[in-house]
Amino acid sequence: MAPGTASRASAADPVVSRLLQQDTVPWYRKRNLRLLYLLLLPTCIGIEMTSGFDSQMINTVQISDFWQDYFHEPKGALKGIISAAYNLGAICALPFVPMLNDNYGRRWAIFFGSWVMVFGALLQCFSNGAAMYVVARLFLGFGIPFCIIAGSSLMGELAYPKERAIMTSLFNALYFVGALVAAGISFATQSIKSDWAWRIPSLLQAGPSMFQICLIFLIPESPRYLISKDRAEEAYQILVHYHAEGDPDSDFVKAEMAQIETTIKIEIEHSKRSWWEMVSSPGMRRRVIIGSFLGLFTQWSGNTLISYYLNDLLKLIGYTSSDFKNKLNVGLNAWQLVNAVIIALLVRRFPRRVMYLTCTVSLLLCYISWTISMEQFLVKHSAAAAKATIFFIFAYSPCYNIGYNALTYTYLVELFPFAQRAKGITIFQFFGRGAGFFTTFVNPIGLDSIAWKWLITYCCWLAFENVFVWFMFPETYGRTLEELAFLFEDRALAEEATMKVEMQIQHDDRPPWAEKGVRAQNREFL
């Protein structure tokens, strides 16, 4: 049996998945579902625009002579901490994120995190020196994990099962919308002959967060969160309204509701609702190991080198024109957005392990080629090698996006059961932000010290990633979240959940939540 397939045997019998196959109506022909997805775009999917905006803003403003003069041309450790402070702030926030998510719901977590980032953007814009600038970036970083963890969970828990993978994959793809906008704005403000050349992009970083603040309460709360708080009637009404277009007699929604309620009840019965439970069983320990290393992989695969230090990379291969570097940066971000969206729309067609292995193998080959081309330029000053280096920088994007961009939150939402989902994604964020802080801090030091040889460290790490993914990543393709809830656990729990769902579906009497749901079927949920 191939690695990763053994755990599939313990997944619950796909009761709801079988019913789902009978639905042949596409989402765009369902009025309520269309409206839900339209609202999820700015409120949840758009959250990563803030991260994308930040990485490109801090990358592009460094090209500005006014930024360099104002901060006295920071180098080495100071330059590293200016970029890395964003991830350091995120690490500081992580202990508080699951508490807010689990106690107050996904929407309040997004609302709170967005206000923190608005404050950070204002502080960054009006910074009077490097110290205040770093503090502002700490606030920006502190707010983002509240939004990312809540938003990715909310999308996965609200989306119709057929579109769940696409929606959670688009979550990361919109990172490049923010990056492209930031690159364009920063390029345009280069013509301003004052400090506002870098202050304006800093101020506009608050834009995506303002969208979330204004619109987040127009979408419903997670049905799974409501069920966990004994508010099953509200959860049922939401599922009827969006997953059955208002039909309370929908067999699919009755089965979905029964499956969610039964699975969450079993999860909570076997859950201590504490951090200790994340390592108390073999199944949870394996999830934590996978989530932790996935966090490392998303930041230690060489992407931060391009996102934060493209200016330095281009200098190494002889490109010093600010105009050229700005234009290339905008073009690179446009290319990243296009291929990320295309890949996100294709995730339903391929198993998760196939996409991850394709990602890691192609990244390794790309980085080896990139290292060779950069070495050839620095040793032989070959113009062809410089152009080849730019080609590999562009080739890197689809290689990375096919796995670590498109699948990250899709896979995490599928990997962790509801009771541990917020904590699981928090652990992923801790390792990802820690890795991001480390790499953004040491990248300028490594490039200054050993130039092209610094890329060899990434080649070695990427080789390890291939081995880890092959042996450790399970397949989660083609199941609902509840059917994956006991992926690594005793099969008896999966069979118990399946049996109760089957009994609920076949029972003639309506459960309490269905009775109240029928009476409230015309209620407005927005």
Q: Specify whether the CB–CB gap between 440 and 80 falls below 8 A.
A: yes
What is the C-alpha to C-alpha distance for residues 188 and 52, in angstroms, rounded to an integer?
Answer: 18
pLDDT computed for residue 359 by the predictor: 96
Nearest to 328, CA basis, from 82, 58, 63, 74: 63
- Dist CA 438 CA 75 (whole Å): 16
Q: How far apart are CA 116 and CA 112, in angstroms?
A: 7
Query: What is the Cα–Cα distance from 523 to 380, expressed in whole angstroms?
Result: 72
Let me know if residue 3 belongs to a domain: no
Report residue 216: phi and psi, to 5°.
-60, -35
Same domain? For 224 and 300 the reply is no
Task: Tell which of 187, 213, 229 closes a domain.
Answer: 229
| Residue 140 resides in a domain | yes
Task: Compute CA distances 312 → 64, 114, 160, 449, whole Å.
Answer: 13, 31, 44, 13
Q: Residue 120 burial (CB < 10 Å; 0-12/13-18/19+)?
A: buried
Same domain, 390 and 480: yes
- Check residue 489 and give its pLDDT: 63
Residues 454, 317: one domain? yes
- Which are the contacts of 185, defined by CB distance < 8 A and separation ≥ 6? 57, 200, 201, 204
Dihedral sign (CA 102, 103, 106, 108):
negative
Residues 480 and 361 placed together within one structural domain of the fold? yes
In the prediction, which pLDDT does 8 show? 43
Whole-number pLDDT of residue 141: 92
Burial-class residue 519 by CB neighbours within 10 Å (0-12, 13-18, 19+): exposed
Q: Would 102 be classed as within a structural domain? A: yes
Q: Do 440 and 83 meet the contact criterion of CB atoms below 8 Å apart?
A: yes
Same domain, 426 and 337: yes
Residue 147 resides in a domain: yes
**377 belongs to a structural domain:** yes
Output the domain CATH number for residue 348: 1.20.1250.20
Q: Are residues 37 and 164 in the same domain?
A: yes
What is the predicted pLDDT for the residue at 5? Answer: 43
Give the domain-ending residue among 183, 211, 229.
Answer: 229
Collect the ranges in the chain with pLDDT lower than 70. 1-15, 270-273, 482, 485-486, 489-526
Any domain includes 188: yes
Residue 285 lies in a domain: no
Structural domain harbouring 356: 293-507
**Does 266 fall in a domain?**
no
Let me know whether 126 and 212 are in one domain: yes
Would you put residue 73 in left (φ > 0), alpha (ψ -120 to 50) or beta? Answer: left
Q: What is the pTM of this model?
A: 0.79
**Is 116 in the same domain as 215?**
yes
Q: How far is residue 155's CA from residue 74's CA, in Å, rounded to a whole number?
A: 40
Please give the pLDDT value at position 3: 47
Specify whether the CB–CB gap between 257 and 239 falls below 8 A: yes
Q: Tell me the chain's radius of gyration from C-alpha atoms.
A: 24
Reading the block at residue 10, the tokens are: 């313990």
- Number of independent structural domains in the chain: 2
- The confidence score (pLDDT) of residue 275 equals 78
